[in-house]
A and B are shown apart, each in its own frame.
Chain A
Amino acid sequence: MRKYSVFALVKEAMRSHKGWEPHWVSPEPRSSYDVIIIGGGGHGLGAAYYLAKEHGITNIAVIERGWLGGGNTGRNTTIIRSNYLYEESMDIYEHSLKLWEGLSQDLNYNVMYSPRGVMMLSHNTHDMQSFKRHINANRLYGIDNEWLTPEQAKAFCPPLDISKTARYPINGAALQKRGGTARHDAVAWGYARAASDRGVHIIQNCEVTGIRRGPSGEVTGVETSRGFIGAKKIGVSAAGHSSVVMQMAGVRVPLTSNPLQALVSEPLKPIFPCVVMSNTVHAYISQSDKGELVIGAGTDQYHSYSQTGGLQIITHTLDAICELFPIFRRVKMMRQWGGITDNTPDRSAIQSVTPVPNLFVNCGWGTGGFKATPGSANLFAHLIARGEPHPLAAGLTLDRFRTGRLIDEAAAAAVAH
């Protein structure tokens, strides 16, 4: 792999950029691999990268039904934060945030991580009490999170309307300054490039149609649209389709797949300096480096694989955006799309061994999986390599739905998060 640097850029500029190489190679699949990762999103590609980098396993294939990052990795609103309530969540999201901070250097690929601050708006007494509880829990655990008065919130994000007569009045906000955004495509491409450089095979447009099992129940490989491919271990990282893939191995998982929508506006000059979330009125907004306002909406209530959602959901979000930021009332929306999120009953992820030997699953990241990408991938690689979870992810077992040791972020956030 050719290293990206200012010198490489100058050299290529001198010769009409004829020397750049493809980011990754797409070889013909081998007949078998040590590890197959099903799902070529950020979590799957990242797991392959960390397996190669940290665990010395390089005979790996990442099998993707569509194109890299074409699922939720390329469909989310790129919000990164770690100010969750429970220790299990703080462990994994903070691990992830720390990896985000050095990811561009680690991958030699600019993922455009921008710690511009994530501000969560409080609209009522319940929000205030809940956020202050989060802030205290976070600070005791060594994670930054601070309370802002409405005036401080306005100073941090000038377009915000904090007037008393606003439709959704604001009585404060919680701010995590280290939170922010990154460029989602670059995350998928950066991991793919770095993994490919270490010998990982990236196989796109190849759908897994079955999981083959051996005499003692262990996995032996996958049936795909390009034939059978053997594997000693399989990691499933298929987001909204995780239940579909896991059923191929006869494993039931407690997931519901819901559409989640996002949309972007026409490009504007820089006007919005941070990320603002309002769980209470379901509005999530930031501005991309291209200038588009990136807006996230709520989930549809029913389970679906349609990668689309109801217009009433985004209308509701835009109503809220226009009330919170009256300055945006005349902005035109340019594109809208949906992704399929895999939600667990307690709204915490599952990263776990399964009843099937050598089959591992990383799913249930629901509506907040992008921020977890580096941490989730890093710990999933550990799980696949060692066969047992990393201490930071030890609570995210599939077994918790039997033992009752749930991590109830659903109750903590009161909404999908």
Chain B
Amino acid sequence: MLLIHCPYCGEDRSELEFRWAGEAHIARPDTISAISDDEFAEYFFMRDNTKGIAWERWRHIHGCGRFFNAIRDTVSDKFLLSYKAGLPRQPVPGSEPAAAPAVEGGVA
């Protein structure tokens, strides 16, 4: 079972409290009625399904109920970082100087 850090509650909690919510940072097109079928399929169905470092959404459904984002290695299942929804895609901790502002919530 995974141990997951919720950046809103500030605690490491068991996976039982969370729901996985798919790949992170997929924006719904603003012009959803105008886009082509190909663009809709790309937005709605196609996923990276990354082997390695992945950015994904989780929801603390049996806790604060809020969505947040996390970086996880999908080979080891180890979490590298959790950060609040709405923040831009965060760099992998230790990989390079952070281009984005400092993140609240630590390594889980």
* A interface residues, Cβ below 8 angstroms from B: 241, 243-244, 252-257, 301-306, 308, 310-312, 345, 401-404
B47 touching A256, Cβ below 8 Å: yes
Identify which of A253, A304, A312, A401 contacts B74 (C-beta below 8 A). Answer: A304
A and B contact pairs by CB, cutoff 8 A, 15 listed: A243-B47, A243-B48, A256-B22, A256-B47, A302-B2, A302-B20, A302-B56, A303-B49, A306-B75, A308-B77, A310-B1, A311-B1, A401-B44, A402-B41, A403-B37
B16 contacts A by Cβ under 8 Å: yes
Residues of A with C-beta under 8 A to B16: 312
Identify which of B38, B42, B56, B76 contacts A303 (C-beta below 8 A). Answer: B56
Identify which of B19, B42, B46 contacts A301 (C-beta below 8 A). Answer: B19
A320 to chain B, nearest CB (A): 17
A306 touching B77, Cβ below 8 Å: yes
Residues of A with C-beta under 8 A to B45: 254, 345, 401
Question: Could you tell me the distance between the alpha carbons of A404 and B40 in the complex, rounded to whole angstroms?
Answer: 10
Identify which of B49, B56, B72 contacts A255 (C-beta below 8 A). Answer: B49
A66 to chain B, nearest CB (A): 15
Interface size class of B (residues with CB under 8 A): 20 to 34
B28 contacts A by Cβ under 8 Å: no
B54 contacts A by Cβ under 8 Å: yes
B104 contacts A by Cβ under 8 Å: no
Residues of B with C-beta under 8 A to A303: 20, 49, 54, 56, 74
Identify which of B37, B51, B75 contacts A402 (C-beta below 8 A). Answer: B37
Residues of B with C-beta under 8 A to A255: 47, 49
Question: Could you tell me the distance between the alpha carbons of A404 and B76 in the complex, rounded to whole angstroms?
Answer: 35
**Considering the complex, which residues of chain B in the window 14-72 have a beta carbon less than 8 Å from any beta carbon of chain A?**
15-16, 19-20, 22, 37-38, 40-42, 44-49, 51, 54, 56, 72
Question: Could you tell me the distance between the alpha carbons of A301 and B58 in the complex, rounded to whole angstroms?
Answer: 11
B3 to chain A, nearest CB (A): 11
Identify which of B42, B51, B56, B72 contacts A244 (C-beta below 8 A). Answer: B51
- Shortest Cβ-Cβ A-B pairs, 6 listed: A254-B45, A243-B49, A302-B20, A401-B45, A252-B46, A301-B20
B47 touching A310, Cβ below 8 Å: no
Residues of A with C-beta under 8 A to B54: 303
Residues of B with C-beta under 8 A to A241: 51
Question: Could you tell me the distance between the alpha carbons of A144 and B77 in the complex, rounded to whole angstroms?
Answer: 42
B43 to chain A, nearest CB (A): 11
- Given known contacts A302-B20, A305-B74, A310 and B46 CB-to-CB distance under 8 angstroms: no
Residues of B with C-beta under 8 A to A253: 46, 49
Question: Could you tell me the distance between the alpha carbons of A310 and B20 in the complex, rounded to whole angstroms?
Answer: 14
Residues of B with C-beta under 8 A to A252: 42, 46-48
B53 to chain A, nearest CB (A): 12
Identify which of B19, B37, B49, B74 contacts A306 (C-beta below 8 A). Answer: B74
B78 to chain A, nearest CB (A): 10
Question: Could you tell me the distance between the alpha carbons of A74 and B71 in the complex, rounded to whole angstroms?
Answer: 31
